[in-house]
């Protein structure tokens, strides 16, 4: 086996285990102990994160961060990966923002000059745009780690009021540039979706005996899913301008029916947690939208209009 192939194999073996000895690696690679010591020294110089530990139970231990072996990409695969990273550019917060930047820098550095020029030309003609938001999301990484470890945590959540909540995060997703956390809320005794930018404080000090006994399959059924027992029928008449504006919304566009004259109607289901959003959204459309159902949204719009009338009479 050539040395380069042996080093690649060694990286893969090192990544598979937390601890190993020189003799174990020498036996697996079919080389002498002296050769293995030289190979490990070279891997260390290349940045593979492990360290030696003396004593009876000693050997080498691998740090938490691991290094992948070299991987070959086709031209189209390289372009796809580059723009996948670029598509995250407008997010002010990411659970792994620094890692994305360093990975993209390393990846771009080793591309051929021809491929770099091609990517630069494509950057001028292909943009993955999401609405940039200035809201801070300080606990995004912590919530993701809690979801991965299936830990119960305590948060201070600010919506209509600021309240302390104990939640069991199930997972995170992003939509229209905002981050959301699907979780079981022990205060509401039900599953809820939390805007992550509204989480104002975070603590791991929570009663772990309350952890949900959920497997991965059960968790995945909750992510990005609407609880059918907690939905309302949404029906809205739209002018042509109302159709145009509603079709700009990722969620609403799926429920818009367009008539021959350009006007339209929305018929879809909405979660009760969307009531406040629906009131403000359709109120903002003015005469371009007429909410027929649900009644609770109609009543709240009427109430808001009365409050606005009083405000602007003075």
Please write the tens of the pLDDT for every residue from 209-229: 777 666 555 555 555 555 555
Please check whether residue 156 is in contact with residue 162, taking contact to mean a CB–CB distance below 8 angstroms: yes
| Region 3-62: CATH code | 1.10.10.10
Global pTM value: 0.57
Token pair 């000693």 in the structure block, residue: 58
User: Who's near 76: CB < 8 A, 6+ residues apart?
Assistant: none
% of the chain at pLDDT higher than 90: 27
Rounded Cα distance between 32 and 53, Å, is: 21
Q: How confident is the model over 262-311, as pLDDT tens digits?
A: 999 999 988 787 788 899 999 999 999 999 999 999 999 999 999 999 99
Domain boundaries of the chain, sorted by first residue: 3-62, 75-123, 140-225, 229-313
DSSP 260: T
Distance of CA 16 to the CA centre of its chain: 27
Rounded Cα distance between 251 and 221, Å, is: 19
């Amino acid at each position: 086996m050539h040395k380069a192939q042996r080093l690649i194999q060694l990286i893969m073996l090192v990544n598979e285990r937390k601890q190993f000895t020189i003799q174990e690696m020498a036996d697996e690679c079919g080389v002498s102990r002296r050769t293995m010591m030289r190979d490990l020294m070279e891997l260390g110089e290349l940045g593979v994160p492990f360290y030696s530990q003396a004593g009876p139970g000693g050997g080498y231990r691998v740090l938490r961060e691991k290094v992948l072996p070299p991987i070959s990409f086709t031209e189209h695969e390289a372009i796809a990966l580059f723009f996948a990273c670029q598509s995250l550019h407008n997010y002010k917060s990411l659970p792994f923002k620094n890692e994305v930047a360093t990975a993209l820098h390393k990846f771009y550095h080793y591309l051929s000059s021809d491929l770099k020029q091609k990517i630069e030309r494509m950057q001028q003609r292909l943009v993955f745009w999401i609405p940039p938001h200035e809201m801070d999301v300080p606990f995004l990484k912590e919530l993701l780690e809690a979801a991965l470890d299936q830990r119960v945590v305590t948060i201070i959540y600010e919506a209509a009021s600021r309240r302390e909540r104990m939640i069991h995060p199930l997972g995170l997703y992003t939509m229209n540039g905002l981050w959301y956390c699907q979780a079981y809320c022990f205060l509401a005794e039900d599953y809820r979706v939390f805007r992550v930018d509204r989480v104002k404080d975070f603590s791991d000090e929570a009663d772990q005996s309350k952890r949900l006994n959920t497997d991965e399959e059960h968790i995945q059924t909750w992510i990005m899913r609407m609880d059918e027992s907690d939905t309302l029928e949404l029906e809205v008449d739209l002018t042509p301008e109302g159709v145009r504006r509603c079709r700009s919304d990722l969620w609403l566009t799926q429920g818009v029916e367009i008539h021959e004259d350009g006007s339209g109607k929305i018929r879809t289901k909405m979660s009760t947690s969307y009531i406040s959003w629906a009131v403000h959204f359709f109120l903002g459309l003015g005469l371009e939208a007429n909410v027929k159902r649900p009644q609770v949204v109609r009543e709240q719009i009427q109430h808001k209009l009365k409050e606005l009338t009083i405000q602007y009479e003075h």
